[in-house]
Structure formats: C-alpha cells, structure tokens
Structure 1
Amino acid sequence: MVSDEADSGSDSPPLLSGDSEALSQFIENMGLYFEDYGIPRIGGRILGLLLVARRPVSPEEMSEVLQVSRSSISTNLRSLLMAGLVERVSLPGERSDYYVISEEAWERSLEMRLEGIQALREIAEEGLQGLDAGHPARQRLEEMLSWTAMVEDAYRKLLEAWQSRKEVPA
C-alpha cells in the first residue's frame, strides 16, 4: 500500500501525494503491465512508483512503500538500469543513491520492442532456410516475415516521430 508518509528526511518533500488508493492501484497496474512484457512485476511496480514520485527515490524507500525486500529492489533496479528505463542520481549531502525514471524511458521502450521484432524476423529467416520450397510451413513463415517487416517499419516510424517530438524546442 502506498503511504504518504514515506520520506527520506525532514527537509524532503513527501515521496507521494494525492489519492493513495489510486496511486497504489496505478503502481500495481504498472507491475502487471510490464510483467506481460517479460519484466518482473516488481520491476514494473518500481517504474510505476518512480513515475508518480515527487522526487528521486532511494532503494530503502522503494522497499518500504512497495513492501518488498531490499534485495528484490536491488535486483530489479540493476535490470531497469541496464534496460535504460531508470537512472541513478545522487543528491547533495546524501550518501545513498536515488533513482528516477529515465528521460529516455519511452524511447528505450520502443527500441526494446523493435529489437524484439527484429529477433523474431531473424528466427523466421532461419526457419525458412531449413524448409524446402514446397514445404507447407513455408507460407506461414513467409507471412511471419511480412508481418515482422510491417511491424518493424511501424516501430521505426514511431521511434522517429518520438525523437523528433523531443527535439522540437518548447
């Protein structure tokens, strides 16, 4: 359950503010969403927490707010850092590391989807190499290749549109 009380110190603003029930549900839904894409549920919950946090969050605060072990937080933070979805930051006068959602998180998310489709295309190409010209599965794999080409193109266009959106000065 999300608590408005999670706080790293008396000088810091509260970690979360707003409807704690709605925020808890949002965080849980993010966990479920990302779990469908191969990220452990706790990783998605961490992303959800970072999205709604008012300030950078320490692993200790994540553990307290999400009610999971510190080791689970550490393991998932390493994965999220490697994926480019979160960033480690330091705060003046603090000895602990803090985390924020990466400014490149959505771009990185599209890139990961594109990489997944490219991997699927390569698998289809390898499968086709093993089939004779008249093999009944050939048509299915050729259709798979057509589909991956279409989806790759769509993801590339989305990525380009997102990147150009970010480049436009405010």
Structure 2
Amino acid sequence: MSDGPDQAEEVLLRYVERLALVFAQSGIPRMPARVFAYVLAEDAERYTAAELASGLRVSQAAISGAVRYLLQTGMLAKEREPGSRSDHYRIYDEDIWGAIFLKRADALIAYEEVSAEGARVLPPGSPGALRMRQNQEFFAFIRAELPLLLQRWHEHRRTLTAGEPPGG
C-alpha cells in the first residue's frame, strides 16, 4: 500500500491550517479562514458543503456558518448545477484577490462618507474632526487609486501567467 495520497492530504491540511492562521490573525473568523484556505489550496474548482466538511474533517454545521460569512464578504461564490439539489461553492474569480478588493470598494465609499459626516458634525478644528477629515481623504484616495492599481496588477498578472497552461 502506498501512503502517497494520505501523506499528500496531510501536507495539504497542515498547510491549510497555517494559511488559515494568517487569515485569522488578519481578522477573518477561524472557520471561514479554514474554509477559504482550503478552497484556495485544494485542487477542485467547486465544492459542496459535504465536500468541504469531509476535506477539512469538520461537521457540515461548521461549514454552513463559514460559507455564509465567505459569501457575505465576497470571498466565495455560490452556484447550483442544473438538476442538482446541492449548492456548490467556488472562489469568486480566477483573479481571487483582485475580485475581492473590487467587491470591497463599496465599503470604501461608506467609510469615506461616514468620515466626511464626522468631519462636518464634530467641533471644527478638534482632533476628532481633523482625524475624520484625514480618514475621509484616505478612503477617497484609496478608492480613486484602486482601479489603477488593479489595472497594473492585471497587467503584471498576465506577465506571470504568459505561456502557462489554463488553470496553471
């Protein structure tokens, strides 16, 4: 008997846990971090909740809440195959991080608007009002630069993947 597939699975799961820890340290809840890390690192294109639970060796109930979080934050997409009764989950886009950052652009507008409100309603010249004005300008700047940054990333990404087979 070969221990290759089992060993490969153990290596994958150890790596998934390391990657999930980095995601969790950046603010993603632990189980969504594990699911997202698994979907990024494992080879399949789409997963059912049962496949995610089996792959991560957790309950489907744990997957349910994690997937809900990942869908709400735009980190995963949900599809249903014709004739299937199960939802399938996948990374949102071939350009995972570009798609995630683009989906988060709406949050930048909200941050900018609420910061502008703070700059207006807090006492003029107060430290809080000045910080809110700086916040407003920061988010306006990031929002304006994001399309250019993503365009540069897409150009750079094309040079990285030139000559690679599709999906590679």
Give the Cα–Cα distance (whole angstroms) in 1 for the partners of residues 86 and 122 of structure 2: 56
1:4: how far off? Answer: 4.2
1:78: how far off? Answer: 3.0
Pair 1:48 & 2:37 matched: yes
Amino acid at match of 2:143: E
SS state at 2:64 partner: helix
Q: 1:27 aligns with which of 3, 10, 16?
A: 16
Q: Percent identity?
A: 28
Alignment correspondent of 1:119: 110
Give the Cα–Cα distance (whole angstroms) in 2 for the partners of residues 94 and 117 of structure 1: 37
Distance 1:89 1:53, change over 3 A: farther
Q: 1:72 aligns with which of 53, 57, 62?
A: 62
TM (norm. structure 1) is 0.67
Q: 2:137 aligns with which of 146, 151, 156?
A: 146
Moved more, 28-37 or 89-98: 89-98
Q: Point out where structure 2 has 5 or more consecutive residues left out of the alignment.
A: 163-168
1:60: how far off? Answer: 1.9
TM (norm. structure 2) is 0.68
Distance 1:70 1:136, change over 3 A: closer
Alignment correspondent of 2:166: none
Q: Point out where structure 1 has 5 or more consecutive residues left out of the alignment.
A: 6-16
Give the Cα–Cα distance (whole angstroms) in 2 for the partners of residues 28 and 4 of structure 1: 18
Moved more, 82-91 or 50-59: 82-91
Give the Cα–Cα distance (whole angstroms) in 2 for the partners of residues 160 and 72 of structure 1: 37
- Report which structure shows greater RCO (CA 8 Å, sep ≥6): 1
Distance 1:81 1:143, change over 3 A: closer
Give the Cα–Cα distance (whole angstroms) in 2 for the partners of residues 129 and 28 of structure 1: 45
Distance 1:135 1:47, change over 3 A: closer
Normalized per residue, the structure richer in helix is 2
Give the Cα–Cα distance (whole angstroms) in 1 for the partners of residues 82 and 124 of structure 2: 66
